Amino acid sequence: MADGDTFPRQYARTRRFTLGEPRTITVSTDGSRIVFLRSRSGVDPVNALWTIDAGTGAERVVADPSTLLGDLDEADLPAEERARRERVRESGGGITSYATDDAVAVAAFTIAGRLFVASLVDGTARELAVAGPVFDPRPDPLAQRVAYVSGRLLCIGELDGSWRVLAGDDPDEPDTVSWGSAEFVAAEEMDRQRGFWWSPEGTTIAACRVDVAAVPLWTIADPSDPASPPVQHRYPSAGSDNADVRLFLLPLDGDEQEVEVRWDRDAFPYLADVRWDDHGLVLTLQSRDQRTLAVVRADRDTGNTIGLFADQDEQWVELVPGSPRHDHLERLVVCADRDGARRLLVGGAVTTPADQQVRAVLDATETGIVYTANPVADATVQHVWRLLPDGTNEALTDEPGVHSAVCGGETVVIRSATLDEFGTYTATLGGVVIESFAETPLVHPEVHLLRSSRHELATAVLVPSDRSKFDAALPVLLDPYGGPHALRVLAARAPYLTSQWFADQGFVVVVTDGRGTPGRGHAWERAVHGDLATAPLDDQVEGLEAAAAWLEQQDLGVRCDLDRVAIRGWSFGGYLAALAVLRRPDVFHAAIAGAPVTEMRLYDTHYTERYLGDPGSDPAPYDASSLLPIADQLTRPLLIIHGLADDNVVAAHTLRLSSALLAAGKPHEVLPLVGVTHMTPQEVVAENLLLHQLDFLRRSLP
What angle do the packed helices 534-552 and 572-583 form, to 10 degrees?
Answer: 80
User: What residues in the chain have per-residue pLDDT under 70?
Assistant: 1-3, 71-77, 82-92, 681-682
| Confidence (pLDDT) at 686 | 82
Instruction: Count the Cβ atoms, other than its own, within 10 Å of residue 232.
Output: 11
Residue 367, judged by CB atoms within 10 A of its CB (0-12, 13-18, 19+), counts as: middle
- C-alpha to C-alpha distance for 273 and 295, rounded to whole angstroms: 9
Cβ contact 447:503 at 8 Å:
no
Amino acid sitting at position 640: I
| Confidence (pLDDT) at 241 | 98
| Confidence (pLDDT) at 72 | 57
Helix (H, G, I), strand (E, B) or coil at 518: coil
Cβ contact 384:397 at 8 Å:
yes
Cβ contact 156:118 at 8 Å:
no
Per-residue pLDDT reduced to its tens digit, 301-322? 999 999 999 999 999 999 999 9
| Confidence (pLDDT) at 87 | 63
| Confidence (pLDDT) at 160 | 85
Per-residue pLDDT reduced to its tens digit, 88-100? 566 668 999 999 9
| Confidence (pLDDT) at 89 | 64
Residue 392, judged by CB atoms within 10 A of its CB (0-12, 13-18, 19+), counts as: exposed
CA-based diameter of the chain, in Å?
80
Segment 450-456 long-range contacts (CB within 8 Å, at least 24 positions apart): 450/546, 450/547, 450/550, 451/546, 452/512, 452/542, 452/543, 452/545, 452/546, 453/546, 454/542, 455/514, 455/515, 455/539, 455/542, 456/377
| Confidence (pLDDT) at 256 | 83
Write the CATH number of the domain with boundaries 170-319. 2.140.10.30
Q: Which CATH architecture group holds 447-700?
A: 3-Layer(aba) Sandwich (3.40)
Looking at the chain, which residues constitute the CATH 3.40.50.1820 domain(s)? 447-700
pTM for the whole structure: 0.95
From start to end of 376-457, where are the E strands?
A: 383-387, 393-395, 402-408, 411-417, 425-428, 433-434, 447-451
| Confidence (pLDDT) at 86 | 64
Amino acid sitting at position 552: E
Alpha carbon distances (Å) from 381 to 39, 384, 483, 527:
28, 10, 18, 21
Looking at the chain, which residues constitute the CATH 2.140.10.30 domain(s)? 170-319
Please tell me what DSSP assigns to residue 237: B
| Confidence (pLDDT) at 482 | 97
